[in-house]
Amino acid sequence: MFRKHMWRFLPMTLLLFVLTGCLGKENLTALDPKGPAAKWIYDNMILSLVIMTFVSVVVFVIFFMILVKFRRKDGDDALPKQVHGNMAMEITWTVIPVILLIILFIPTVSGTFKFHVNAVPEEHEGSVYIDVTGHQYWWQFDYVGEGFTAGQEVYIPVGEKVVFELNAEDVIHSFWVPALGGKIDTIPGVTNALWLQAEKPGVYQGKCAELCGPSHALMDFKVIALERDEYDAWVADMQGVEAEQTAVNAEAGYDVFQDKGCISCHAVGGEGLGTGPALSNFGDRKTLAGVHDIDDDEKLAAWIRDPQSLKQGAKMPPPEKEISNDEMDALIEYLRSLQVRGADKPY
């Protein structure tokens, strides 16, 4: 019976490979920690794995010993010695699990207090405070003290505590950068907080970890960790962004950007409203809308003409006014010119 249906497990097993393939994204793993919070989680994972392995080995060894030793022998119908209510055994199998649980309890609880700074973020002196807002399906990062806003990618200095205070605009999302730390929900009307620290400069993949709508799986973001001096330079550059950038003669595109109403949702520098991601450094982005190939002009044009085709349920509507091909070229040139990390920059 069981054998007959064995084949049914095959698709499941194959599915498992496919699903793990989805997690093959760079850095999107908790098994290669790059910061103290992630390290703590990883160490706890290993500790519980060791304890579980120990318990399993002991249980299975005893189980098989008993199978062999107390097997009913031919002609022996006598009841074996009964152990119900045996005090020594009762104490043994109560005390050992209690000890094991205490070993797990101490690092778990102490780390929870150390890394999740809910309600008392002020007590955790962070070098940088960043307000995070989860939106269907993108992330907003407000550098409150520095006075600017960034979308999709959050820059932090390396080797320093960065305190994130998290909220959501619409539904519950969850902020997760597996290489740097644990997940925390972003909830409308509630402020959660945690701190993260990156040990080395690099790009760390982040993801929304709470089912939040049709494009939940596309709600990616990146943490970009820079050395302190590079980070400071980046902050200064972000503060200096002007909406009308002329670096690559993109004025024509700037006009289209204004004329087609993009500016009513996308802030650039101090200009515009911000119900969509700020585009001040769009030209530095590593992905389009958090997930798509950024270098592909056709994809960018497709996004602008019909965002839903690339991200179902995205809150960016198709443009009200027709955009001609020439206008589109100018618009794309303008968007790409919005960079603060030029090739001449050390970061």
Give the whole-angstrom CA distance, residue 102 versus residue 100. 5
Give the number of other Cβ atoms within 10 Å of residue 100's Cβ. Answer: 15
Of the candidates 198, 218, 219, 267, which one interacts with Cu ion according to CB under 5 A?
Answer: 219
Q: Which of 208, 250 has the CB closer to Cu ion?
A: 208
If contact means CB under 5 to 8 A according to the sort of partner, which of ligand HEC, Cu ion, none does residue 337 touch? none
If contact means CB under 5 to 8 A according to the sort of partner, which of Cu ion, ligand HEC, none does residue 317 touch? ligand HEC
Q: How far is the CB of 318 from ligand HEC (least distance, A)?
A: 9
Of the candidates 140, 152, 205, 337, which one interacts with ligand HEC according to CB under 6 A?
Answer: 152
Q: Which of 173, 260 has the CB closer to Cu ion?
A: 173
Give the whole-angstrom CA distance, residue 270 versus residue 273. 9
CA atoms within 13 A on the CB side of 22: 10
Q: Which of 220, 237 has the CB closer to ligand HEC?
A: 220
Helix/strand/coil for 174? strand
Give the whole-angstrom CA distance, residue 151 versus residue 313. 18
User: Among residues 185, 165, 190, 167, which one has the least CA distance to residue 175?
Assistant: 185
Instruction: Indicate the DSSP class of residue 215.
Output: T
The piece of 18-26, 65-73, 180-188, 258-266 that touches ligand HEC (CB under 6 A) is 258-266
Q: Which of 135, 285 has the CB closer to Cu ion?
A: 135
On the question of a cis peptide bond just before residue 137, with omega within 30 degrees of 0, the verdict is yes
For position 212 contacting Cu ion by CB under 5 A, the verdict is yes
DSSP H helical ranges for 177-324: 228-239, 251-259, 297-305, 307-310
If contact means CB under 5 to 8 A according to the sort of partner, which of Cu ion, ligand HEC, none does residue 222 touch? none
DSSP H helical ranges for the chain: 9-22, 36-69, 87-115, 228-239, 251-259, 297-305, 307-310, 325-337
Identify residues 268-287 at the interface with ligand HEC (CB under 6 A).
275-277, 282, 285
Identify residues 311-340 at the interface with ligand HEC (CB under 6 A).
311, 314-317, 319, 331, 335
For position 310 contacting ligand HEC by CB under 6 A, the verdict is no
The answer to whether residues 173 and 210 touch, using CB atoms and an 8 Å cutoff, is yes
Tokens 């101490």 locate to 106
Q: Which of 33, 151 has the CB closer to ligand HEC?
A: 151
Q: How far is the CB of 332 from ligand HEC (least distance, A)?
A: 8
Of the candidates 111, 134, 206, 290, which one interacts with ligand HEC according to CB under 6 A?
Answer: 290
Give the whole-angstrom CA distance, residue 267 versus residue 30. 34
Tokens 């969850």 locate to 174
Identify residues 119-148 at the interface with ligand HEC (CB under 6 A).
137-138
If contact means CB under 5 to 8 A according to the sort of partner, which of Cu ion, ligand HEC, none does residue 342 touch? none
Q: Going residue by residue from 191 to 210, which x/- string records binding to Cu ion, judged by CB under 5 A?
A: -----------------x--
For position 288 contacting ligand HEC by CB under 6 A, the verdict is yes
